Structure 1
Amino acid sequence: MISIKDLTKVFRFDQKEIKAVDHLSLTIEDGDIFGVIGYSGAGKSTFIRLLNRLEDPTSGQVTIQGKNITAMKKNELRIARQDIGMIFQHFNLLWSRTVRENIAFPLEIAGVPAKEREDRVKELIELVGLAGRENAYPSQLSGGQKQRVGIARALANNPKVLLCDEATSALDPETTDSILDLLIDINERLGLTIILITHEMHVIKKICNRVAVMEKGKIVEQGDVLDVFLKPKQPVTKKFVEQVMGDSDGDLSQLLDVYTSGRVVRLHFVGDSANQALISQLSKEFEIEVNILQGKITQTKLGAYGTLVVQINGSDREINNTIQFITEKTTVEVEVLTHA
C-alpha cells in the first residue's frame, strides 16, 4: 500500500512562495492502477516526483510498502528507488545507446552481473514488444517504440510501483492506446501498482480503476472511475468528463424548449445496465411512446457509462408507472427534467 499524508511542496522564487502541492493525502492499494488528473499547473507532475524523492517535500510523508520514503538518507533512498520505476513524457532515453543498452543501464548501476543482465534485458524486450529492435538507437524509433524502451527500462529492477508522468501525452491516439494496453498487461502479469498522471480523461477511462482530480495543488475529488464519471461533483471534474462525454447540458435547454409534451427524463446508465435494451422493453411493457433526444455511452475499464435524454409520451398514469418501473426494477438512475 502507498500512504501519502499531508504532502506539501513549496517553491520559492524572488521572495514569493508557490505551493505546488498543498497538504495532499491519498491511499493507493497494492496492484491498483490509480490515475491523477489535472490541468497544467495543477501540481500533478510535482506530486509524482515527490513520490520517489526526485523532489524533496517541504513537509508531509510518503510511505511505500511500509517504508517512509521521505525520511530516508541518500544511500537508503538509492536502494528504495529500485522498487519504484518511472516513465516520462519525453522518454528520457540515452541517445548514444541502443535499445538493449538503454534497458540495461539501470541494471549496470545496480551492479547486476553481465549474464543476469543480458537475460533480464532479453526478457524485457519480449515483454514490451520490441523483439528485432534491440540494436536500434532512439533516433531510429517511433514515439511509441521509444516509450516501450522507457517502460522496459523502468521495469528492469523488478519494481513494485510504476510511476507514469504524462507517459502518453506526446503520442498520437492510436499509439496512446497501444501503450495503455501494454500498461494494463504489465499490471495484470506482474501485479505491480501503477500511478499515472495525465490531463486526458480518455487515458483515465481506459486504464484506471480509481482517479483523483487535482486543482491548485489539492485533491478536490477522488473515487472509482465509474463513480466519478456518473456523478462528478467539482466544476473541474465536470470539464474532464465532458472531454469524453461531450457537453450534454449545452443543447439540453434547447431540447426542453422544443419537446414540451409528455415528460423529458435523463437516464443514467452504469456498468452492465448500459447494455440493457431498456427502451424497447419499456415500449412493450407500457402504453407509452419513447423518443430518444440525446445520448452517449462510453466504455471505461470497469464497465460502460452513459446518459440518454428521452421524451416519454402517454397518460400521466402510464408515464408515472414507467418511471417507477425504471427506478425500482433496474439499476438505471432516472432524473426527471420536465413535467407535463
Structure 2
Amino acid sequence: MISIKGLTKKFLIQHKEITAVDDLSLTIKKGEIFGVIGYSGAGKSTLIRLINRLEEPTSGSVIIGDKEITNLRKGELRNARQNIGMIFQHFNLLWSRTVSENISFPLEIAGVPKDEREKRVQELIQLVGLAGRENAYPSQLSGGQKQRVGIARALANDPKVLLCDEATSALDPETTNSILDLLVDINERLGLTIILITHEMHVIQKICNRVAVMENGKIVEQGEVIDVFLKPKHSVTKKFVEQVMGNEEGDLTEIIDDHSAGKLVRLHFIGETANQALISTISKQFNIEVNILQGKINQTKLGAYGTLTVQILGEIEEIDRTITFIKEETSIEVEVLAHA
C-alpha cells in the first residue's frame, strides 16, 4: 500500500513562490492500477516525481509498504528505488545502447552478475514483446517499441511499484492501446501496483481501478472509475468525462424541445446492468412506446457504464408504472428530464 499524507512541493521561480503540490493526501491499494488525471500545470507530474523523490518534498510524507520514502538517507533511498520502477513520456533511453543493453543498465548499476543480467534481460524482452529486436538501437525502433524497452528497463530490478508519467501521450491511438494492454498484463502477472499519470480520460477508462482528478496541486475528486464517470462532481472532472462521453448536457435542451410528448427519461447503466434488455422488457410488459433519443455505453476495467435518454409515450399512469418498475425491479438509475 502507498500512503501519501500532507504532501507539498513549492518552487521558487523568479523570486515568486509557486505551489505545485498542495497538502495532498492519498491512499493507493496494493496491486491496483491507480490513475491521476489533470490538465497541464495541475501538479500531477510533480506528484509522481515526489513519490520516488526525484523531487524533494517541501513537507509531508510518502510511505510505500513499510518504508517512509521521505525520511530515507541517500544510500537507503537508492536501495528503496530498486522497488520503484518508472517510465516516461519520451522514453529516456540511452541512444548509444541496444535494446538489451538499455534493459540491462539498471542491473549493472545494482551490481547483478553478468549471467543473471543476461537471463533477466531475455525474460523481460519476452514479457514486453520485443523478441528479435534485442540488438536494435532506439533510433531503429517505433515509438511503441521504445516504450516497451522503457517498461522492460523499469521492471529490471523486479519492483513492487511502477510509476508511469504520461507514458502513452507521445503515441498514436493504436499503439497507446497496445501499451495499455501490456500494462494490464504486467499488473495481473506480477501483482504490480501501477500509478498512471495522464491527461487523457480514455486511458483512465481503459485500465484504471480508481482515479484522482488534480487541479492547482490539489485532488478535487477521486473514486472508482465507474462512479467518477457516471457522477462527476467537479467542473474539471466533467470536462474530462466529456472527452469520452460527449457533452450530453449540451444536446439536452434541443432534445426536450423536439420531444414534448410523454416523458423524457435518462437511464444510468452501471456494470452488468448495461447489458440488460431493458427496452424490450418494458415495451412488452407495459402499454407504452419507447423512443431511444440519445445514448452511449463504454467499457471500463471494472465493467460497462453509460447513459440512455429515451422518450416514453402512453397514458401518464402507465408511464409512471413503467418508471416505478425500472426503479424498483432493476439496478438501473432513472432520472426524469421532462414530461408533458
State yes or no: 1:320 paired with 2:283: no
Instruction: Give, as a single letter, the amino acid of the residue that structure 2 aligns with 1:227.
Output: D
Give the match for residue 306 of structure 1: 306
Query: Using the alignment, how far apart are the partners of 2:4 and 2:77 within structure 1?
Result: 17
Q: How do 1:51-62 and structure 2 match up within 5 A? A: 51-62=51-62
Give the match for residue 295 of structure 2: 295
State yes or no: 1:331 paired with 2:331: yes
Query: Using the alignment, how far apart are the partners of 2:67 and 2:317 within structure 1?
Result: 63
Could you list the per-position Cα deviations for residues 20-54 of structure 1 after superposition, in whole angstroms to 9, with x for gaps in the alignment? 00000000010010000000000000000000000
Q: Percent identity?
A: 78
Query: Using the alignment, how far apart are the partners of 1:164 and 1:263 within structure 2?
Result: 47
Query: Using the alignment, how far apart are the partners of 1:241 and 1:91 within structure 2?
Result: 28
Q: How do 1:271-290 and structure 2 match up within 5 A? A: 271-290=271-290
Give the match for residue 265 of structure 1: 265
Give the match for residue 180 of structure 2: 180
State yes or no: 1:248 paired with 2:264: no
Give the match for residue 107 of structure 2: 107
Instruction: Give, as a single letter, the amino acid of the residue that structure 2 aligns with 1:181.
Output: D
Could you list the per-position Cα deviations for residues 272-322 of structure 1 after superposition, in whole angstroms to 9, with x for gaps in the alignment? 000111111110010000001111111111111110110000111100000
C-alpha deviation, 1:66, in angstroms: 1.2
C-alpha deviation, 1:331, in angstroms: 0.8
Secondary structure, counterpart of 1:182 in structure 2: helix
Secondary structure, counterpart of 2:243 in structure 1: helix
Secondary structure, counterpart of 1:96 in structure 2: coil
Q: How do 1:85-234 and structure 2 match up within 5 A? A: 85-234=85-234
Query: Using the alignment, how far apart are the partners of 2:78 and 2:323 within structure 1?
Result: 61
**Residue segments in structure 2 that go unaligned for 5+ positions in a row:** none
Instruction: Give, as a single letter, the amino acid of the residue that structure 1 aligns with 2:280.
Output: S
Query: Using the alignment, how far apart are the partners of 1:78 and 1:23 within structure 2?
Result: 26
Secondary structure, counterpart of 2:202 in structure 1: helix
Query: Using the alignment, how far apart are the partners of 2:327 and 2:178 within structure 1?
Result: 39
Secondary structure, counterpart of 2:339 in structure 1: coil
Query: Using the alignment, how far apart are the partners of 1:213 and 1:259 within structure 2?
Result: 36
Query: Using the alignment, how far apart are the partners of 1:19 and 1:161 within structure 2?
Result: 26
Query: Using the alignment, how far apart are the partners of 1:248 and 1:276 within structure 2?
Result: 22
Query: Using the alignment, how far apart are the partners of 1:180 and 1:57 within structure 2?
Result: 30
Could you list the per-position Cα deviations for residues 146-201 of structure 1 after superposition, in whole angstroms to 9, with x for gaps in the alignment? 00000000000000000000000000000000000000000000001000000000
Query: Using the alignment, how far apart are the partners of 1:193 and 1:284 within structure 2?
Result: 47
Give the match for residue 25 of structure 2: 25
C-alpha deviation, 1:337, in angstroms: 0.5
Secondary structure, counterpart of 1:131 in structure 2: coil
Instruction: Give, as a single letter, the amino acid of the residue that structure 1 aligns with 2:196.
Output: L
Query: Using the alignment, how far apart are the partners of 2:325 and 2:230 within structure 1?
Result: 21
Instruction: Give, as a single letter, the amino acid of the residue that structure 2 aligns with 1:159.
Output: P
Give the match for residue 43 of structure 2: 43
TM-score by length of 2: 1.00
CA-based RMSD: 0.5
Secondary structure, counterpart of 1:318 in structure 2: helix
Query: Using the alignment, how far apart are the partners of 1:106 and 1:122 within structure 2?
Result: 15
C-alpha deviation, 1:339, in angstroms: 2.2
Secondary structure, counterpart of 1:56 in structure 2: coil
Q: Which one is further off, 274-283 or 155-164?
A: 274-283
C-alpha deviation, 1:13, in angstroms: 1.2
Query: Using the alignment, how far apart are the partners of 1:299 and 1:112 within structure 2?
Result: 42
Query: Using the alignment, how far apart are the partners of 2:289 and 2:89 within structure 1?
Result: 51
Instruction: Give, as a single letter, the amino acid of the residue that structure 2 aligns with 1:89.
Output: Q
Secondary structure, counterpart of 2:307 in structure 1: strand
Query: Using the alignment, how far apart are the partners of 1:14 and 1:171 within structure 2?
Result: 34
Secondary structure, counterpart of 1:337 in structure 2: strand
Give the match for residue 6 of structure 1: 6
Runs ≥4 residues deviating over 4 A: none
Q: How many residues align?
A: 340
TM-score by length of 1: 1.00
Secondary structure, counterpart of 1:157 in structure 2: coil
Secondary structure, counterpart of 1:338 in structure 2: strand
